[in-house]
Structure 1
């Protein structure tokens, strides 16, 4: 018969495993989304010089003009904006069929590998020992109950 503590540890183990696994799957999905965006841009490549309007934690807003004279400012910002500053002129590449999808020229999804890989590594660096400790506590409880 299980004790409340043993059940709580079992639930904690499953929750820890689920959260770490979910975060890992989310990172993998982000990588594939970045690759898909790069393919879309490369498939219908347009280039322009953009002005950086604002830089924030979650997005970098730019505006640029396409050859048809329309000024675009992607609502989600530019992809791979590291190192940009407000007021800066930057060369960008965009999907000619969807100018809302733009990236800094010369940058690609490979730039996402380090941050996503690091996040997954540190997630499991925390989850692994926690899962081991919870499992060990459950085994210890079983041994004590058998004695």
Structure 2
């Protein structure tokens, strides 16, 4: 190896690390944006063809809660993906839900919509970009120290 190629090798690694940090933060940001758009789309679909019912919470979790409800036509529904916006539910609780009549498996807790997802999404973005900008700052400092 020549002597001139050695000093550029660490700077190339630093540049690659910086690009990797930016790409990772951007990809996560896009995914968070897509999640919020998907929630908005689901809300729109429910709102354009809305039915409502009383449901029983079968199991409750922070990210997924299973419910069972009966539509006016007498069919019992237990959506495989659970109910949208499931926070603060408890097993055995009876709640009001809104569902899409043409697709009863698309169901949300009554009174909740995409606004419930905005604050968690924004907090994820703040943390991701806080970590990314801190990492970029550290990488920049390392690059300046090596160039001196």
TM-superposed CA distance for 1:15, in Å, is: 1.0
Match of 1:5 in 2: 10
Identify which of 106, 116, 119 aligns with 2:121.
116
TM-superposed CA distance for 1:10, in Å, is: 1.5
Structure 1 residues 71-116: Cα deviation after superposition (integer angstroms, max 9, x where no partner): 0111110001111000000000000000010000010000111100
Tell me the matched-pair count. 143
TM-superposed CA distance for 1:14, in Å, is: 1.1
Higher relative contact order (CA 8 A, sep 6+): 1
Match of 2:109 in 1: 104
Structure 1 residues 5-42: Cα deviation after superposition (integer angstroms, max 9, x where no partner): 22222211111111111111111101110000000000
TM-superposed CA distance for 1:47, in Å, is: 0.1
Please report the TM-score for the alignment, with normalisation by the length of structure 2: 0.91
Please report the TM-score for the alignment, with normalisation by the length of structure 1: 0.92
Cα contact 2:62–2:87 (8 A) shared by 1: no
Is 1:76 the counterpart of 2:81? The answer is yes
Is 1:39 the counterpart of 2:44? The answer is yes
Q: Secondary structure at the match of 1:68?
A: coil
* Structure-2 separation of matches of 1:116 and 1:16: 19
Q: Secondary structure at the match of 2:112?
A: coil
* Structure-1 separation of matches of 2:44 and 2:94: 24
Gap regions ≥5 residues in structure 1? none
After superposing the two structures, state which structure 1 stretch, 56-65 or 72-81, moved more.
56-65
After superposing on structure 2, the runs of 4+ consecutive aligned residues of structure 1 that deviate more than 6 Å are none
